[in-house]
Structure 1
Amino acid sequence: MRVGFFFGISVALVIGGTFIHYLPDHGMRQWARREAERLIQQRERESLPLISENYYDPDKIVVPTAGEE
Structure 2
Amino acid sequence: MNADVVHDRVTADPRASREGRFPDLIDTVLEVHVPLAWTGADAFLAQMPDWFCLDRTEDQEHALYVAAERTPCASS
TM-score range, shorter chain: 0.3 to 0.5
TM-score, normalised by the number of residues in structure 2:
0.33
The answer to which structure has the higher helix fraction is 1
TM-score, normalised by the number of residues in structure 1:
0.35
Which fold has the larger relative contact order, with Cα–Cα distance below 8 Å and residues 6 or more apart in sequence? 2
